[in-house]
Amino acid sequence: MAGNVGREVPGTMAERLIVALDLASIAEAEAMAERLAGEVSFFKLGLGLLFAPGVDGLIARLTRDGRRLFLDAKLYDIPETVSRAVTIAAARGASLITVHGDRRIMAAAVAARGAAPLQIFAVTVLTSLDDAALAEMGVGVSAQELVRRRARAAVEAGCDGIIAAAADDPNAIRRAIGAEHLLIATPGIRPAASSADDHQRLATPRAAIARGADYLVVGRPIVAAPDPSAAARAIIAEMAAA
């Protein structure tokens, strides 16, 4: 599609919306996925549910009938452990998994997925962190600079994409590192009237798409809405308007 030259992204905006099933239980997550059937086909499972009883069945259900699953595991461990986790995720039919932006971890994940269609996305800087928070952690560069460094390392390691805020400007990241093919998924998405919650670097759906985001990850503005299907449709429409 126009604006995505060199990158393989789905043909419709609905397929580029990833709904984060950040809910209190497996039953609630499954009910939400069913409630959004026909509107959304890509769902994210994060750490809040990856240890919950029944998650195995939910993973099986979310990877059938043409749906796609993003395992937001944020893997950060020795390469051998990461390799085993990625191998299992690939066998379970997941479409995307996240690893932290350490060079050895990324390389191990890419090697472990083999010929499976599982995509490896590297976490750059969490959207809950800003320059001040990074400084407190002893990081001597801005969030924007750290994102670009980790994006470059992800490309060199063979990752398919990265997780970065829209405020980091996905198009500018690609230009800065010379990697137009790099896919970028953007969390911290909030419609104009929504609460920021715990995000420091956020953007509206329209702004994120305009800046070159390939996928938008949206949780509470949809799953906590009185009518989740209507909320999803509104976000998809705003994405298309960009």
pLDDT in tens, 178-231: 999 999 999 989 887 665 555 456 689 999 999 999 999 999 999 999 999 999
CA count, 13 A, side-chain hemisphere, 77: 12
Does residue 90 form part of some domain?
A: yes
Q: Provide the pLDDT for residue 128.
A: 83
Q: Give the integer Cα–Cα distance in Å for 232 and 227.
A: 9
Within-domain flag for 11: no
Tally of domains within the chain: 1
Tokens 């995509």 appear where?
A: 119
Can you tell me the distance from the alpha carbon of 105 to that of 158, in angstroms, rounded to the nearest whole number?
Answer: 11
Give residue 1's pLDDT: 37
12 in a structural domain:
no
Query: Which of 235, 176, 179 has the alpha carbon at shortest distance from 208?
Result: 235
Range of the domain at 166: 21-241
CB 169 within 8 A of CB 203: no
Q: What is the pLDDT of residues 135-178, one digit of tens each?
A: 999 999 998 889 899 999 999 999 999 999 888 899 999 999 99
Do 33 and 43 form a contact (C-beta atoms < 8 A)?
Answer: yes
For residues 125 and 128, what is the distance between their CA atoms, to the nearest angstrom? 8
Residue 2 is assigned to a structural domain of this protein: no
The answer to whether residue 40 sits within a structural domain is: yes
Q: Measure the CA–CA gap between 68 and 95, rounded to whole angstroms.
A: 6
The CA-to-CA distance between both ends of the chain, in Å, stands at: 13
- What is the rounded distance in angstroms from the CA atom of residue 38 to the CA atom of residue 152? 37
Please give the Cα distance from 21 to 125 (Å, whole number).
21
Q: What is the pLDDT of residue 37?
A: 93
For residue 192, the model assigns a pLDDT of 73
Judge whether 10 lies within some domain.
no
Whether residue 157 is contained in a domain is answered as yes
CB 201 within 8 A of CB 208: no
Check the CA dihedral 141-146-152-158 and report its sign. positive
Q: Looking at residue 113, which CATH number applies to its domain? A: 3.20.20.70
Residue 130 has pLDDT above 70, yes or no: yes
Mean pLDDT of 42-61: 94
Structure tokens at 87: 């191998």
Is 6 a domain residue? no
- Residues annotated as part of the active site: 74
CA-to-CA distance for 199 and 233, rounded, in angstroms?
Answer: 23
Task: Report which secondary-structure segment, H or E, holds 87.
Answer: helix 79-91
Give the Cα separation of 105 and 89 in Å (integer). Answer: 15
Helix, strand, coil content of the chain in percent (nearest 5): 45, 15, 40
Contact by Cβ (8 Å): 216, 209: yes
The conformation of residue 227, written as its DSSP 8-state character, comes to: S
pTM > 0.95: yes or no:
no
Continuous H helices in 63-197: 79-91, 103-113, 131-136, 143-157, 170-177
